[in-house]
Amino acid sequence: MIDGEQALRTITYREAVREALREALQKDERVFLMGEDVGRYGGCFAVSKGLLEAFGPERIRDTPLSESGFVGAGIGAALGGMRPIVEVMTVNFSLLCADQIINNAAVYLYMSGGQFNVPLVIRLATGGGRQLAAQHSRSLEGWYAHIPGIKILSPATVEDARGMLWTALQDPDPVLIFENSGLYNMEATLGADAGPVDIHQARVRRAGRDISIITYSASLYKALEAAETLAKEGIEAEVIDLRTLRPLDERTFLESVARTHRALIVDEGWRSGGISAEIASRIMEGAFYELDAPVARLCSQEAPMPYAKHMEDAVLPQAAGIVDLVRHMVNAHG
Amino acid sequence: MAEFRMPSLGSDMEAGTLLEWRVKPGDRVRRRDVIAVVETEKAAIEIEVYADGIVERLLVQPGEKVPVGTVMAIIRTEAEPDTPRPTASEPVSPPAPAKAATPEPMEIQFPAADRRIKASPYARRLAAHRGIDLGAVQGTGPGGAISAADIQRAVPSAPAEEKSRPVPAEDKPAEGPHTAMRRAIAAAMARSKREIPHAYFQTRIDMQRTLDWLAAENLKRPIQNRILPVVPLIRAVSLALEEVPELNGFWVEGRHRIAEAIHIGFVINLRQGGLIAPALLNTAQKGVDELMAGLRDLITRARSGGLRSSEMTEATITITNLGERGVETVFGIIYPPQVALVGFGKITDQPWCENGMLGIRPILTATLSADHRAVDGHRCALFLDALNRRLQEPSTL
């Protein structure tokens, strides 16, 4: 589309992120991309393939394997007036730069008495399901959503993958974009004019009257698949894509619960102290008298992610599990 | 009959431990008699009774810790010995928050399952709206709970009533007195800074005339009766409050209440750490000698135990005096629900201009912290001005 295509076209999530990067690099000369293997290798997930050739090594910068160092450099560049996009290969490695994110980027505005914003965007791949075992399959976005001072985006659709980056770059404060690595190959049809989208509202991806399934990222598709199965049994599930985990758009899910009177939260993160707990609490606080059943949660089993495929499938929330839970919530008979 | 209840001895008090009864059933008591000693987080306090009568029954045993508001004894009032009256007539102390009489709902006990109707919040709402008795509905929801669908199937009947049940009070683990006092101070000060928009005022006062007057006065007294410099300061505050009474009172439930009597709370540092601010009651009616005696007595009792409940609850304003510690200026935090606190620093010799002449004078820095919800800067300025004026005319003290 950058090259002048006008019609609807089918692109992958990966291509959508790349288009967004390309657009940002073209529209704003302060934007640059920095991270491990983003240049010559074209990105660990091939997201930035071709960008080095198009924009040169000044703007597509390969970094050493030093997350704390290059995220810190990104913070410095942002303070200095640039609009850096820092790619941390996966959320697993973000633990090495958690200090930069939490202790520096998130609080500079406050610590400087409002003098210094940090207009930094960090992109991270996240999620399990690809047989990468315990150290490379984490879903820690809910954890980062605990931290005031940063925004946590979780694009689940190709449209959001295409549109959230530019909006994030316009934000004066740090924004973390979590791209579920299982979604990179997913295809969808986008309009030629697809562009920036809002980052402050959840979306109802499927309307229904019997239960609100609240989810985000790759679990959205499991929830939608479950909703299709349930529809054949006469149960109409509403599916909400949170899109942004911080700040949470609680209005959208509270309004939904007020219509359906039941809520199930599906989260690839762990249950204890997770974002699912936060959402359940907000429903309790804001829609208690609307509830016709206890709020339910389907999260990953609280175990390190197994390597074996069948065991990994057993740990992650699945559509079949959603269907079972919803059936019980809606059709219970004592 | 009058109920003698565990009093609130400060806005931060939640419960107290009965240490001893000073009376037994059958004893005759008069208003203001000390009838019990109660241990609070701050100190052991002697508790006065507010009714004349005869002790009918003692309901709490020594060693028991009970929440504020708990009935501790029944006093048969003499006027109507045989006619029970509906409620007690003893006044509630002003700083007691309205909720103090309610035990804290911290721990929820699930009642026996066979007695309780399980229904979802939404189902309950629907049932109440349609006048459906939940007891007549068969639940088919999760765990047999009544769900909205069950209500929709049910036929309307008489409106259901939901009874609230008492929730047991929280049983706090025992704590050392030092920690407990720290927590009490923390709660009061945090509440103050959270709720009270403090406005601060400062003025410097030439103390030459007052100190000269005091030296002359002290020559007339035996050593043990000599008056400390803080006493004329307390006296001057009391007189200045008569000119600006708004600073003498409370901010309670969104309203400013000016107190009629002046009871000046005086911050007393305790040797084991922590502090306490009991009141010099009816300050306005006392001259410097009475104030000196009262202050000495108050400090002795604060440090040894034996403060009275009225002294703990009735202060209408507080003075903190850090002059002895060498501090020049102190801006204090108001003790809620009071609306003002006066701070005095050390009197130090300073260069001072008066009538175009430079001299060396003993200078005191006086400060006023005021609750800006209750009073405005103009009135605060008038107060400090009146304070200064009084100290320039010590013979009026």
Q: What is the pLDDT of residues B32-42, one digit of tens each?
A: 888 898 888 77
Task: Express each pLDDT in B310-352 by its tens digit.
Answer: 888 889 999 999 887 788 899 999 999 999 999 999 999 999 9
Residue of chain B nearest A328, judged by CA positions? B142
Task: Express each pLDDT in A259-283 by its tens digit.
Answer: 999 999 999 999 999 999 999 999 9
Query: Which residue in B50, B49, B69, B61 sits closest to B19, CA to CA?
Result: B61
Tokens 């030093």 found at: A66
Confirm whether A3 is domain-assigned.
no
Q: Do B143 and A334 touch (CB under 8 A)?
A: yes
Query: Cα–Cα distances in Å, from A329 out to A229, B142, B143?
Result: 15, 6, 10
Of A5-19, A40-54, A266-280, B81-95, the one with minimum mean pLDDT is B81-95
- Say whether residue B123 is in contact with chain A using an 8 A CB cutoff: yes
Q: From the CA atom positions of chain A, what is the Rg in Å?
A: 20
Question: Terminal CA-to-CA distance of chain A, rounded, Å?
Answer: 56
Last residue of a domain, one of B70, B99, B128: B99
Query: Cα–Cα distances in Å, from B212 out to A179, B206, B347, B362, B395?
Result: 80, 11, 13, 11, 11
Q: Do B142 and A333 touch (CB under 8 A)?
A: no
Please tell me the predicted confidence (pLDDT) of residue B212.
94
Other CB atoms within 10 Å distance of the CB of residue A201? 12
For chain A, the residues whose C-beta falls within 8 A of a C-beta of chain B are 261, 288-294, 328-329, 332-334
Please tell me the predicted confidence (pLDDT) of residue A122.
98
Q: Give the confidence band of A204 by pLDDT, cuts at 50, 70, 90.
A: very high
Q: Which residues of A touch B127 (CB under 8 A)?
A: none
What does pLDDT average to over chain A? 95
Please tell me the predicted confidence (pLDDT) of residue B162.
39
What are the structure tokens assigned to B214, written together? 């005091």
Q: How far is A274 from chain B (nearest CA, A)?
A: 24
Q: How far is B10 from chain A (nearest CA, A)?
A: 32
- Say whether residue B129 is in contact with chain A using an 8 A CB cutoff: no
Q: Do A334 and B121 touch (CB under 8 A)?
A: no
User: Is the pLDDT score of B113 beyond 50?
Assistant: no
Q: How far is B101 from chain A (nearest CA, A)?
A: 27
Q: Do B121 and A289 touch (CB under 8 A)?
A: yes
Of A236-245, A289-298, B71-80, B136-145, the one with minimum mean pLDDT is B71-80
- Say whether residue B97 is in contact with chain A using an 8 A CB cutoff: no
- Say whether residue B140 is in contact with chain A using an 8 A CB cutoff: yes
Instruction: Name which of A291, A332, A334 is nearest B121 (Cβ-Cβ).
Output: A291
For range A190-206, the mean pLDDT: 93
User: Is the pLDDT score of B101 beyond 70?
Assistant: no
Of A132-141, A250-259, A274-283, B276-285, the one with minimum mean pLDDT is B276-285
Conformational region of residue B355, where left means phi above 0, alpha means psi within -120 to 50, and beta covers everything else: left
Mutate which of A260, A264, A292, A324 to disrupt the B interface (most B C-beta within 10 Å)? A292
CATH of the domain at A79: 3.40.50.970
Do A140 and A246 lie in one domain? The reply is: no
Range picked from A294-308, B290-304, B347-361 for highest mean pLDDT: A294-308
Please tell me the predicted confidence (pLDDT) of residue A334.
53
What are the structure tokens assigned to A30, written together? 């302060």
Do B21 and B150 lie in one domain? The reply is: no
Contact between residue A182 and residue A221 where contact means Cβ atoms under 8 Å apart:
no
Mutate which of B134, B138, B147 to disrupt the A interface (most A C-beta within 10 Å)? B147
In chain A, the number of structural domains is: 2
Cα–Cα–Cα angle for A210, A211, A212, nearest 5°? 140
Burial class (CB in 10 A: 0-12, 13-18, 19+), B90: middle
Query: Cα–Cα distances in Å, from B315 out to A220, B93, B129, B251, B294?
Result: 62, 10, 50, 13, 14
User: Is the pLDDT score of B104 beyond 60?
Assistant: no
CATH of the domain at B357: 3.30.559.10
Q: Which residues contact A161 (CB under 8 A, 6 or more apart)?
A: A13, A16, A17, A20, A155, A179, A183
Please tell me the predicted confidence (pLDDT) of residue B79.
60
Q: Do A334 and B139 touch (CB under 8 A)?
A: yes
Do B276 and B225 lie in one domain? The reply is: yes
- Say whether residue B134 is in contact with chain A using an 8 A CB cutoff: no
Higher pLDDT: B3 or A319? It is A319
What does pLDDT average to over chain B? 82
Do A25 and A138 lie in one domain? The reply is: yes
Task: Express each pLDDT in B173-220 by its tens digit.
Answer: 455 556 777 888 888 889 899 999 999 999 999 999 999 999 999 999
User: Is the pLDDT score of B247 beyond 90?
Assistant: yes
Confirm whether B170 is domain-assigned.
no
Conformational region of residue A138, where left means phi above 0, alpha means psi within -120 to 50, and beta covers everything else: beta
Please tell me the predicted confidence (pLDDT) of residue A333.
63
Last residue of a domain, one of A126, A158, A190: A190
User: Is the pLDDT score of B154 beyond 50?
Assistant: yes
Confirm whether B105 is domain-assigned.
no
DSSP letter at A102?
A: I
Contact between residue A186 and residue A279 where contact means Cβ atoms under 8 Å apart:
no
Q: Which residues contact B396 (CB under 8 A, 6 or more apart)?
A: B239, B390
Q: Give the confidence band of B115 by pLDDT, cuts at 50, 70, 90.
A: low
Do B367 and B231 lie in one domain? The reply is: yes
Do A237 and A318 lie in one domain? The reply is: yes
Do B188 and B319 lie in one domain? The reply is: yes
Instruction: Name which of A261, A328, A333 is nearest B122 (Cβ-Cβ).
Output: A261
Main-chain phi, psi angles of B298, to 5 degrees: -65, -45
Confirm whether B107 is domain-assigned.
no
Higher pLDDT: B327 or A56? It is A56
For range B24-49, the mean pLDDT: 85
In chain B, the number of structural domains is: 3
Of A116-120, A254-258, B145-149, the one with minimum mean pLDDT is B145-149
Task: Express each pLDDT in B161-176 by its tens digit.
Answer: 333 333 344 444 455 5
Q: Which residues of B touch A290 (CB under 8 A)?
A: 121-122
Task: Express each pLDDT in B367-381 by its tens digit.
Answer: 999 999 999 999 999
Last residue of a domain, one of A190, A223, A254: A190
Last residue of a domain, one of A155, A190, A225: A190
The neighbouring-strand residues paired with B258 are: B249
Contact between residue A14 and residue A51 where contact means Cβ atoms under 8 Å apart:
no
Domain that holds residue A295: 203-331
Query: Any catalytic annotation for residue A261?
Result: no
Please tell me the predicted confidence (pLDDT) of residue A6.
57
Please tell me the predicted confidence (pLDDT) of residue B310.
83
Of A80-94, A97-111, B136-150, the one with minimum mean pLDDT is B136-150
Do B223 and B353 lie in one domain? The reply is: yes
User: Is the pLDDT score of B87 beyond 70?
Assistant: no
Q: Is A85 helix (H, G, I), strand (E, B) or coil?
A: strand
